Structure 1
């Protein structure tokens, strides 16, 4: 009888842990979207497909490098911190990259490598914007035609993590832009 109670207690504990992990993961990203600091980042996207998650716009960002702030350089293959700021036009850029977590300011945990001029080139952790299957072909076409020079992604950043909030073509959100562009014949 005692072993049944132990097994039941163990089963309930495992079930609670299994339910808690996905709930926490969903809450973590939604919390960033709701409370993270908002940045606009210049993009140059393409539209591939993920068999498990569906259609998405693959984002490539124009501002992905910055000076290294540490005199000792960056550790190869380890997570470093890209300090994010806004330029005069209100667009995000990488102010500097450091191996040390900053005490203040907005930063993103990234992988980076340095070049011969001690400039860090980073791989931003937010590179996909998912959208409904039926919007994907029109989004790909619109972004190729109109978004190359004036495409912007609104990114929410908090505690080293970033989430794509919205894509814009010019001043309009992608979905609004798609509603106003006449379909191709």
Structure 2
């Protein structure tokens, strides 16, 4: 082979290696800028995994849906969770389907798990919020305390577009977790 073919192949290899991560980043950024924002209410969870880095594990109240459709008991795999906003302004399930429906409703793709008695249980794909390691532990404690305290509301703000869901931030009583932790850390010094 001549030298120009090697250079062309090398250039194509570099271009592909740059294109794939750039496409992933573009999809996430596009969802954040043009997707619909939903507030997903969280519930307590006790995480323990020192190998994944510094993050908050989020468990959502919206993790199942009662359906009158048959055939869910032994089903496992991806499901399409169609969303609506409830009276309090939080995300709620409108419908769950095994296949993509022809509708303009926003949806997320979730993993179905243990389904019984026509109740579809699922895990949402945005259950970790990564942050500065100096604040992650205090954030985890703050989120856990807020979830137990019935006077506080803890939720994740998620942007959704065409099945892609991006967790933008975590809030406690409408205060971003970063600010909440900074106030907490200032209070203990």
- Structure 1's 36 and 69: CA in aligned 2 closer, same or farther, altered over 3 A? farther
Within 1, Cα distance between the matches of 2:50 and 2:163? 25
Match of 1:156 in 2: 159
Match of 2:123 in 1: 123
Within 2, Cα distance between the matches of 1:167 and 1:10? 45
Moved more, 121-130 or 144-153: 144-153
Within 1, Cα distance between the matches of 2:47 and 2:111? 24
Deviation at 1:81, TM superposition (A): 0.5
Deviation at 1:161, TM superposition (A): 1.6
- Structure 1's 66 and 91: CA in aligned 2 closer, same or farther, altered over 3 A? same
Once the two structures are superposed, residues 52-99 of structure 1 have per-residue CA deviations (whole angstroms, 9 ceiling, x without a partner) of 6x3110010011111347545487333220111111111112222101
Within 2, Cα distance between the matches of 1:67 and 1:102? 18
Local SS of the residue matching 2:29: helix
Match of 2:9 in 1: 10
Deviation at 1:159, TM superposition (A): 0.8
RMSD value, Cα: 2.3
TM-score normalised according to structure 2 size = 0.85
Match of 1:179 in 2: 182
- Structure 1's 81 and 94: CA in aligned 2 closer, same or farther, altered over 3 A? same
TM-score normalised according to structure 1 size = 0.87
Within 2, Cα distance between the matches of 1:74 and 1:97? 14
Residues 82 and 109 in structure 1, CA contact (< 8 A), matched pair in contact too: yes
Local SS of the residue matching 2:60: coil
- Runs of 5+ unmatched residues, structure 2: none
- Runs of 5+ unmatched residues, structure 1: none
Once the two structures are superposed, residues 124-169 of structure 1 have per-residue CA deviations (whole angstroms, 9 ceiling, x without a partner) of 1111111111111221222222244421111111111211111111
Moved more, 110-119 or 167-176: 110-119
Structure-to-structure mapping, 1:89-168, within 5 angstroms = 89-103=88-102, 104-113=104-113, 115-148=115-148, 149=150, 150-168=153-171
Once the two structures are superposed, residues 14-68 of structure 1 have per-residue CA deviations (whole angstroms, 9 ceiling, x without a partner) of 111011111111111111111111001111355656646x311001001111134
